[in-house]
Amino acid sequence: MRPAWLEINLSAIADNVSNLKTVLGPQREIIAVVKADGYGHGVLPVSQVALNAGARMLAVAMVEEALELTQAGLQAEVLILSATPRQAAATIVEYGFHAPLTDMAGAQALSQAAQEQHRPANVHIKVDTGMHRLGVAAEEIADYCATIKSLPGLAIRGIFTHFASSSSDPQFTLAQLGSFKKVTAQAEAALGYSIPLKHCANSGAIVRYPESWLDAVRPGALIYGIPRNPGGVYMPTMRQAVTLRANISCVKPIEAGAGVGYGLTWTASQDTQIALLPVGYADGYDRLLSNNADALLRGQRVPVVGAVSMDCTIIDVGAIAGAGVDEEVVLVGQQGDENITVAEIADRCDTVIQEVVSRFSPRLPRVYTHDPGDVRVKELELVDSGQQ
């Protein structure tokens, strides 16, 4: 195996889901967001563990991701979050996926596919309450529902919206929530029945606004244990599941005044030792981390020096006597008492935590672990993942 890999602790994911379930209480469902290959963690193992730990449904971004789950043999309700192309309507109905209703043409295509196949099209009405991304405008929902009511074959399983800034703007988030509640009542009045699953909360809203939990919540970050600066009152106990590890591929002395890496962006201020790690930006270890991150060696922080290149990153190990080839270094995650969180990496790259993990490339092998004796995960036969 390549001497650089992502270790995913599935016990952490199981705990994160079941701790969240405890916080939410028995009457609220969890829709585990596993799009983008389970936020880079590996969609199949993550999905299985999340379902076993109490998630009711899985959510992905696109039809292809939903098919991957079904074709691997996973038995679960799968919600597609992004707009689905009209040509995908037949596939959505055939496999029983839950699709978002975002416009009239999409509703008509799903209704037609449902009639052709003599089976219902599972749909969730997507409402735009102010993010101005996807969904039917809040003010148009009553008319929209009055029209789709007459389309045969649509089984309206849910209604949902998405928050624009649940972690940073309470006023706007609560206004969106207020609008969603109002619109949901209008939709139900127009349809003449109650919609079973009303959902809007992502991780940021889950930890801050219990009033947003409604019938179900849609956590992504929370189930991987990566939220930044949580600040929420309803924070379940949570552990980061991912660790990026690499073995040192070479160590060399370097003299004071010598430059390192592309562009020689770092110059040794004293004689020291540098070590090469076989991980680069093509693995998802961002170039913005050049001269701007630490790694962990023997439980101590050592600096990344010079530019991160496509396949390689350099660290200054002068402070660690006798650091040698094959020694294990942690670039993201815990080693000893030190911890480099995904949130720290996101801060250093001025981005969101979701981007850091979802950009870990397939080139990095995923190695699945669990806590010693954790039978929930140990006895799980990972579906078709090829790894454990």
Ligand X SMILES: Cc1ncc(COP(=O)(O)O)c(C=O)c1O
CB of 253 to ligand X, least distance (A): 44
**Chosen residue from 129, 173, 243, 354 binding ligand X by CB under 6 A:** 354
Nearer to ligand X (CB atom), residue 133 or residue 363? 133
102 near ligand X, judged by CB under 6 A: no
- Our answer to whether residue 35 is catalytic in this structure is yes
Nearer to ligand X (CB atom), residue 81 or residue 268? 81
208 near ligand X, judged by CB under 6 A: no
CB of 162 to ligand X, least distance (A): 4
In terms of phi and psi (left: phi > 0; alpha: psi -120 to 50; beta: otherwise), the region of 40 is left
DSSP H or E stretch at residue 147:
helix 141-148
End-to-end CA distance of the chain: 13
356 near ligand X, judged by CB under 6 A: no
Nearer to ligand X (CB atom), residue 80 or residue 244? 80
| Binding-site string for ligand X from residue 39 to residue 78, where x marks contact by CB under 6 A and - marks none | ----------------------------------------
Q: Which of 35, 144, 224, 368 is flagged as catalytic?
A: 35
154 near ligand X, judged by CB under 6 A: no
CB of 176 to ligand X, least distance (A): 13
Count of Cβ atoms closer than 10 Å to residue 186 Cβ:
17
Q: Which residue has the tokens 């991987």?
A: 224
**Chosen residue from 33, 76, 275, 276 binding ligand X by CB under 6 A:** 33
Q: Which two tokens stand for residue 69?
A: 């789950």
CB of 288 to ligand X, least distance (A): 21
DSSP H or E stretch at residue 221:
helix 221-224
Contacts of 308 (CB under 8 A, 6+ apart): 280, 281, 285, 286, 287, 289, 290
Q: For residue 211, what are the CA distances in angstroms to 56, 104, 277, 332?
A: 20, 30, 47, 34
Count of Cβ atoms closer than 10 Å to residue 111 Cβ:
21
Question: Distance between alpha carbon 245 and the CA centroid of its chain, in Å?
Answer: 20
CB of 35 to ligand X, least distance (A): 7
| Binding footprint of ligand X, residue count (CB under 6 A) | 12
130 near ligand X, judged by CB under 6 A: no
Position of minimal CB gap to ligand X: 220
CB of 66 to ligand X, least distance (A): 14
Instruction: Single out the residue of 316, 295, 204, 308 nearest to residue 262, CA to CA.
Output: 308
Q: Scanning residues 166 to 205, which ones bind ligand X (CB under 6 A)?
A: 202-204
| Strand ranges inside 189-267, DSSP E | 197-201, 216-217, 242-247, 250-254, 259-260, 266-267
- Our answer to whether residue 262 is catalytic in this structure is yes
81 near ligand X, judged by CB under 6 A: yes
CB of 302 to ligand X, least distance (A): 31
Q: Which two tokens stand for residue 168?
A: 């940073």
Helix orientation angle between 10-24 and 43-52, rounded to the nearest 10 degrees: 40
99 near ligand X, judged by CB under 6 A: no
| Binding-site string for ligand X from residue 214 to residue 233, where x marks contact by CB under 6 A and - marks none | ----xxxxx-----------
Q: Distance between CA atoms of 77 and 82, rounded to whole angstroms? A: 16
Nearer to ligand X (CB atom), residue 59 or residue 148? 59
Q: Distance between CA atoms of 178 and 371, rounded to whole angstroms? A: 42
Nearer to ligand X (CB atom), residue 17 or residue 33? 33
Question: Which residues are annotated as catalytic?
Answer: 35, 262
Q: Give contact residues for ligand X (rule: CB under 6 A).
A: 33, 81, 162, 202-204, 218-222, 354
